[in-house]
Amino acid sequence: MSKAECYIDEAYRNADWHTARGDIPEGILKNADGTPVTDDNGEALRGTTACNIPIGTRGFVAAYLDQRMNTITRKNNAIATLLDPGRWTHPDIPSRQMLWLLILLCLQFKGDYWLRHIRPDWTESFATGIDENILSMVQTCMGVNINTSWSDFARSRLALPIRYRGMGLRGSADRRYSQFIGGAVQSIIPLLTRNDANGNTIEGRLHLPSIENLFGVDSFSHPVSNPWEHLLTSSRHTNNLTTGIQQTWSHLQITFQEVATQVAKDDQSLLINQSMNNAGFNRDGSSPQSITNVITAEIEAARSLALGCQIISSLDRKDYERWAWEAFSKVGASFITSPPDRLGFIRDQEFMDSCQLGSTDPVDRYFLERRAIDWINTELILLLNHYPVEDSEQSTTAFSLWFSR
């Protein structure tokens, strides 16, 4: 019991509580040197953690997240220092490309675990701090100040996923809402005993009277209808889950309404258009395998369409930014996720040029560089290997015409 600690909501922290906990100490947040973290009044911040998720007063949660954010940004900065293009000046070391891939596929998501488990109004500072750190790494990677060198359209494209004509750099502050509702549905349903569509009974992992009282007896049993109604109407207004779901769904729907077409707003098959009581569930009571992914995709698709309309309506057809938008292709954007292997290797200068969203197609600059000759020759050799010798001249001509399209 030497490592045991406990916490209870401040509303119930009374003499009975202290009697019940006995010799078990109340959990408090500590600094790295073991000293207590205190608030402005010098009081220790009370709370505890479960699987690295803070449970306690708002001050405890905020200070805990600050500690996690500082750890994440410190490690990110160490990676940026190791891959700083100024440190590796040899042209055959693709430091910018390697740093970008780490940011795109890994580093920008390091805070998601906490975003999925903590109400979004308590994670704003945490998520914003991570976003600022990631943006500084991207600027190191690209060699430009994005805030001053890029247009509003280019910065908007940066935040869109690649499949929607962007570069895939999604902000934690923006995604924290879809992460929370996805985490809530994924984590809460297994707690309660429920019946599935085939009449099978699935035993809950924590089917206690208190859990049943909080969420309702059959809220998640088939057929599922208004699964959150009991929680939203019966729990106290300070309940973190209640507040989190209300804030999350209101924010997501407002965000969608601001950019969606009227047709999309009226489409009741979209997950984002479901009622508050049905948040995260389809009209038939089913829920997607990844609620976060579906909601994010619905909002980002609407944003992409709205941004395209703005670009086309405000820019001349000869404007490079409009060309870059209209000429987008999966091949053209392939450099964004290309690993530095035999075919995907991009030198630092070419990477900086390729990332300029004002070109006709971001990858064009890379392919037009003389260093792309190695790549072209390799492709020619691979193609010729599939043709007999007597057809080699014809196949070479065909490939050259195809590549120059």
Contacts of 238 (CB under 8 A, 6+ apart): 11
The packing angle between helices 58-82 and 124-142, to 10°, is 10
Residue 220 is encoded by which pair of tokens?
């998640």
Distance CA 306, CA 296 (A): 15
Confidence of residue 147 (pLDDT cuts 50, 70, 90): confident
Token pair 């940004």 in the structure block, residue: 73
Whole-number Å distance between alpha carbons of 62 and 75: 20
Q: Would you state the structure tokens that stand for residue 174, as one six-digit string?
A: 């923006």
> pLDDT tens digit string along 95-138?
888 999 999 999 999 999 999 999 999 999 999 999 999 999 99
346 pLDDT higher than 80: no
Beta bridge partners of 50: 53
Q: What is the pLDDT of residue 181?
A: 97
Q: Which residue has the tokens 């098959």?
A: 269
d(C-alpha 224, C-alpha 188), whole Å: 14
The residues facing 38 across adjacent strands are 44
Sign of CA dihedral 138, 142, 146, 152: negative
- pTM summary value: 0.84
Q: What are the backbone dihedrals phi and psi of residue 53, each rounded to the nearest 5 degrees, phi first?
A: -100, 125
Of 272, 265, 279, the closest CA to residue 297 belongs to 272
The two three-digit tokens of residue 56, written as one number = 């306690």
- Give the start-to-end residue ranges of the domains of the chain: 10-150, 175-311, 320-403
Task: Provide the token pair at 27.
Answer: 């959990």
Q: pLDDT at position 239, please?
A: 87
